[in-house]
Amino acid sequence: MDLFAASPVEDDPKQVRMVRRAGEAAQAALSTFAVGEEAEAPGQAFLREVGRVAAPLDRAGVRFEPGSTVRVDVVVRTRKIGHFFPGGTVDAFDVWLEVEAIDAAGKHFFWSGRVEEGGRGPVEGGAHFYRSYQLDAEGNPINKRNAWQTRSVLYVRLIPPGAADTAHYRIRIPASAKGPITLTAKLNYRKFAHYYTQFAYAGEPEPGQQKLVSRNHDSRAFSFVRSNIPANVSGAIKGRIPDLPVIRLAEAKVVLELAPPGVRTEWRQAILAGDYERWNDWGIGMLLQGDLKGAEYAFRKVIDAKPDYADGPLNVARALIQEGETEAAKPLLDRAMKIHPGLARIHFFQAMVEKADGRYDAAIASLRRVLEQYPEDRVALNQLGRLLFLKREYAEAVAVLERVMSVDPEDLQAHYNLMLCYRGLNQPEKAERHARLFQRFKVDESAQAITARPRLLRPDDNNERQMIHDHESVRLP
């Protein structure tokens, strides 16, 4: 992981500040028609200008002004794993980031992801979590390993293999802070979330709640008193709920001087060849959040740092393709192709540009080059099948999409396009079969309505759900 970048936070009194924590202006969300426009209390807002960035933090020589607020980006990257991080029981882990800031006098002035109760309790709710936050039909969290009651997800935040996540922290530096300040970021892991550990050892429903549970939901309140623990509880620990250890998977630290009084922060970047992957990972994290403005900026720095690295121009092109700027993406794809002509992913994105141009035959040829190297790549096969469908070459499309089925019989996109292709081939029975399977495997779009209640009740969870979101500190003395 990496404490990589910082940028200024500035006030815009005209904007409505995002509510990130419970009890912090949350009543505004519950206001009614009776609350007049005059009651509006605009707060602080964030206006980022790409370019006003200090990065990498350990090299840029940045000195923050005491009394200012900065947005610090923490990057978490996956390495040498062939699965999403975390993998496994993603509804039950505690995997989160803990970010702290301490000044030279030892004063804690920022802490996100603190473990409450002196390190033995739950992780504070405003932390940046890696998990699948599942909900039952009434919007209760799936926190009792009760996956059968899952009916919706509030969010899923897992890092793909070979990818990165970028988390944002709004750190207010006290006017009285003494430099240098130390920022630390830790990626923590606890085998089971605190709630589940309590539930597993001592969870007993409060009496009189029979109507609050069904096959679709569990709205019951539980008590976790020590007397609930069965005498024959397995394991060596008896008579108390164990404190599961918190494992530190990765850590980053940076020590920064503060600006002397009257000196403004200089937002500088240090472009060094050895840092190209750091810039790239920062950009990937933003790209996956849809922050195309930030991602494009980061990837252009990758090109500056290491001009012979094909992923630099390729990733700028990816951001541009997402923006619909396929013309602007073309020279960057050409440049990437010159650096590494055989790199399959360049041909994939080349195909996306050709498809957007309506040049279906060229796109098909590019995808076939990808498939020469990765014959079972579902993403490429699905795109190829779709293009053949759009060309009304239904039988050829079916042959390609059936290859997807042999890799994953639950592939949604393949079922959808197979349904259409068989419709085109006038084979209604097969079309019906894929329509049924598509509907079985596809997400019920309306299930997202379940998220409304928890979003209203828990602003910190609602904040965490946003694709791009900032974290604030817990209250500190």
Q: Which of residues 47-66 bind another protein (CB under 8 A)?
A: 47-48
User: In the structure encoding, which two tokens stand for residue 369, read together?
Assistant: 């080059």
Decide: is 357 part of the binding site for another protein (CB under 8 A). Answer: yes
Task: Give, as ranges, the residues between 321 and 350 that touch another protein (CB under 8 A).
Answer: 322-326
Task: Give, as ranges, the residues between 221 and 240 that touch another protein (CB under 8 A).
Answer: none
For residues 16 and 237, which CB has a smaller minimum distance to another protein in the complex?
A: 16
| Torsion (CA) 355, 359, 360, 363 in degrees, nearest 10 | -60
Task: Give, as ranges, the residues between 66 and 105 that touch another protein (CB under 8 A).
Answer: none
Q: How far is the CB of 450 from another protein (least distance, A)?
A: 8
For residues 182 and 322, which CB has a smaller minimum distance to another protein in the complex?
A: 322
Q: Which of 1, 3, 7, 46 binds another protein (CB under 8 A)?
A: 46
Decide: is 30 part of the binding site for another protein (CB under 8 A). Answer: yes
Decide: is 426 part of the binding site for another protein (CB under 8 A). Answer: yes
- The window from 10-18, 110-118, 247-255, 333-341 that contacts another protein (CB under 8 A) reads 10-18
Q: Which of 318, 355, 403, 458 binds another protein (CB under 8 A)?
A: 355
Q: Which of 136, 281, 377, 470 binds another protein (CB under 8 A)?
A: 470
Contact map string, positions 272 to 311, toward another protein, x by CB under 8 A: ------------------xxxxx-x---------------
Crossing angle (nearest 10°) for helices 311-323 and 326-339: 160
Q: How far apart are CA 150 and CA 91, in angstroms?
A: 10
Task: Let me know: does 124 contact 114? Beta carbons within 8 Å.
Answer: yes
Contact map string, positions 166 to 205, toward another protein, x by CB under 8 A: --x-------------------------------------
| Torsion (CA) 444, 448, 450, 455 in degrees, nearest 10 | 170
Q: How far is the CB of 12 from another protein (least distance, A)?
A: 7
Would you mind telling me the total number of residues written for the chain in this entry?
477
Comparing CA positions, the residue from 116, 132, 115, 118 lying closest to residue 186 is 115
For residues 368 and 453, which CB has a smaller minimum distance to another protein in the complex?
A: 453
Q: How far is the CB of 63 from another protein (least distance, A)?
A: 24
Q: How far is the CB of 31 from another protein (least distance, A)?
A: 7
Residue pointed to by tokens 């076939």: 368
For residues 175 and 457, which CB has a smaller minimum distance to another protein in the complex?
A: 457
Task: Give, as ranges, the residues between 392 and 421 that touch another protein (CB under 8 A).
Answer: 392, 412-413, 415-417, 419-420
Q: How far apart are CA 475 and CA 477, in angstroms?
A: 7
Contact map string, positions 107 to 146, toward another protein, x by CB under 8 A: ----------------------------------------
Decide: is 16 part of the binding site for another protein (CB under 8 A). Answer: yes
Strands 164-172, 470-471: pairing kind? parallel
Comparing CA positions, the residue from 113, 158, 350, 137 lying closest to residue 251 is 113
Decide: is 28 part of the binding site for another protein (CB under 8 A). Answer: yes
What are the CA-CA distances from residue 67 to residues 134, 168, 262, 287, 470 (Å)?
Answer: 39, 19, 11, 31, 19
Task: Let me know: does 346 contact 336? Beta carbons within 8 Å.
Answer: yes
Q: Which of 389, 401, 404, 405 binds another protein (CB under 8 A)?
A: 389
Count interface residues toward another protein (CB under 8 A): 75
Task: Let me know: does 460 contact 125? Beta carbons within 8 Å.
Answer: yes
Decide: is 27 part of the binding site for another protein (CB under 8 A). Answer: no
Helix (H) or strand (E) holding 154: strand 152-157
Task: Let me know: does 397 contact 417? Beta carbons within 8 Å.
Answer: yes
Extended beta strands in 45-148, E state: 69-77, 94-102, 108-112, 128-129, 131-135
**CA dihedral sign of residues 330, 331, 332, 338:** positive
Decide: is 446 part of the binding site for another protein (CB under 8 A). Answer: yes
User: In the structure encoding, which two tokens stand for residue 106, read together?
Assistant: 């030892």
Q: Which of 386, 401, 403, 404 binds another protein (CB under 8 A)?
A: 386
Decide: is 360 part of the binding site for another protein (CB under 8 A). Answer: yes
Contacts of 429 (CB under 8 A, 6+ apart): none
Burial of 54: CB neighbours in 10 Å, binned 0-12, 13-18, 19+: buried
